[in-house]
Amino acid sequence: MTTVIKNKHIVLGVCGGIAAYKSVELLRLLKKQGANVRVIMTENAGAFVGPLTFEALSGEPVCSSLFEQSFDASIRHIDWAEASDAVIIAPATANIVGKLANGIADDALSTFMLAVTCPVGICPSMNTHMYENRAVKRNLETLRNDGYFVIEPDAGELACGTTGPGRLPEPEDIVDRLLKMLTIKDMRDKKVLVTAGPTWEAIDPVRFIANPSSGKMGYALARAAEYRGGDVTLISGPANIPDPLNVNVVRIKTAQEMAQAVFEHMEDCHIIIKAAAVSDYRPKEKEKHKIKKDNDEMIIDLIKNQDILKELGKRKKDQILVGFAAETRDLEINAGKKLKEKNLDIIAGNLVGDSSSGFGTDTNKVTLFFKDGKKESIPEMEKNEVAHLLLDRILERVG
Ligand code: PMT
């Protein structure tokens, strides 16, 4: 998502750990998202990655000493603290965690941190035994209580040879958590159910009926709701997208499996959004073995799948129900019909088959149709921006 990072002033703090090499990639990703990034390094970080690398990638001078002064002779670490919208320390060693928990300021980074007033993300990264050390745990707890956003390390084999928690998460995941940190939590008390992706209806063991849905729209919705503090379940058809962090992901293949998973999870959800492209029909019989190409023609009998959304419309209690309509023509007529027939609160109509909206694209162009007859045409934008806009409209209706 570009919305909360673009044009923001972010300070990346880098400490002396083997994972410091990953902060180079983190810096690159932040710059790619349009952030202005400045780097403050500890002296030990310089043993792992040179300041020149960070300088070249950020286009800004790197601060590594408390006694450096910027051009106008103002104090750089104080200037930067006042100008920053967010700070991320990655990797954060046990040393900086201990200093921050105890208000110690004895180098550029720790001194800068005492002057910071914006949101701060801390990515602890160290040997597993160090991470599990009681003092480190206590210090991390102090940081959480002080309002720092602690991003849990990954578990796995570490550079030191031990296996367990302590590994710096991948830069993409750190950016994702940074986005969460900076997003307003207006869905904190909301349980959200999202469906995404296609369904696969088997013809024989090697063939199936499907559609080009990539899952991008539904995953963007699940991610956006999670960033906003929602408790999110994502029911996904086959999609080549990693599980969004902190989301309960249920992977299914067929429309029948999707129906079962949706009905299992729908009960206590406040908001249900069906972005999945569910096959309307499935083969009546699934052949046990691969069908041979002996005939010039072949007829496959299909039967109708249950309309999951329509059934949800019947069962709906005090819930907001949102559908998507994928159309190739007459968007308003067709989407309006589905809105009524399925008892929805909102339907997002999108024309599919376009190079910038619908299936597989990173952008979408939707028109929202509301139960009260109102309509809102949204210009082409990134799917994650469409997701946030749709959530805004949903929240206006939840009250
Ligand atoms: O996944 P992407 O590549 O990002 O593409 C996004 C998208 C184009 C798939 C998405 O934006 C979209 O339009 N999703 C709905 C696709 C669809 O199935 O539309 P429909 O008009 O056929 O169905 C209307 C609604 O009924 C949908 O919410 C659908 O989930 C639901 N439905 C349909 C059939 C069925 N048997 N059960 C259902 O619940």
Q: Which residue has the tokens 């139960």?
A: 371
- CA 77, CA 86: separation in Å to the nearest integer? 14
Q: Which CATH number fits domain 191-398: 3.30.450.20, 3.40.50.10300, 3.10.180.10, 3.90.180.10?
A: 3.40.50.10300
- Measured N-to-C along each axis, helices 51-58 and 20-32 cross at an angle, to the nearest 10 degrees, of 10
- CA 84, CA 8: separation in Å to the nearest integer? 8
**In 3D, which of 150, 38, 46 has the Cα closest to residue 107?**
46
- CA 381, CA 134: separation in Å to the nearest integer? 47
Alpha-helical (H) ranges within 85-170 are: 94-102, 108-115, 128-132, 134-145
- CA 77, CA 74: separation in Å to the nearest integer? 9
**List of the chain residues with pLDDT < 70:** 1-3, 68-75, 399
Paired residues of 282 in beta bridges: 303
Residue by residue, DSSP assigns 60-93 as SPPB--TT-B-TTS-BHHHHHHHH-SEEEEEEEP
**Ligand 1 touching residue 353 (CB < 6 A):** no
Which amino acid is it at 353?
G
**In 3D, which of 33, 85, 88 has the Cα closest to residue 384?**
33
**CATH architecture type of domain 9-182:** 3-Layer(aba) Sandwich (3.40)
Q: From the candidates 15, 118, 123, 160, give the one annotated as an active-site residue.
A: 160
225-282 per-position pLDDT tens digit: 999 999 999 999 999 999 999 999 999 999 999 999 999 999 999 999 999 999 999 9
- For the question of residue 123 being annotated catalytic, the response is no
Paired residues of 36 in beta bridges: 9
**Ligand 1 touching residue 214 (CB < 6 A):** yes
**Ligand 1 touching residue 354 (CB < 6 A):** no
Q: What pLDDT does residue 70 have? A: 55
**In 3D, which of 20, 19, 69, 13 has the Cα closest to residue 37?**
13
> CB atoms < 10 A from the CB of 205, how many?
12
Q: What pLDDT does residue 46 have? A: 94
Q: Where are the domains of the chain?
A: 9-182, 191-398
Q: What pLDDT does residue 3 have? A: 65
Phi, psi of 79, deg, nearest 5: -55, -50
- CA 391, CA 320: separation in Å to the nearest integer? 11
**Ligand 1 touching residue 359 (CB < 6 A):** yes
Asked whether this chain's domains 9-182 and 191-398 adopt the same fold, the reply is yes
309-350 per-position pLDDT tens digit: 999 999 999 999 999 999 999 999 999 999 999 999 999 999
Q: CA-CA-CA-CA torsion for 316, 322, 328, 332, nearest 10 degrees? A: 90
Helix (H) / strand (E) containing 332: helix 331-341
Q: What is the distance in A from the centroid of ligand 1 to the CA of 278? A: 6
Ligand 1: nearest atom to the Cα of 239: 1
Q: What is the pTM of this model?
A: 0.94
- CA 262, CA 348: separation in Å to the nearest integer? 19
Q: What is the distance in A from the centroid of ligand 1 to the CA of 213? A: 9
Residue by residue, DSSP assigns 209-244 as E-----SHHHHHHHHHHHHTT-EEEEEE-S-SSPPP
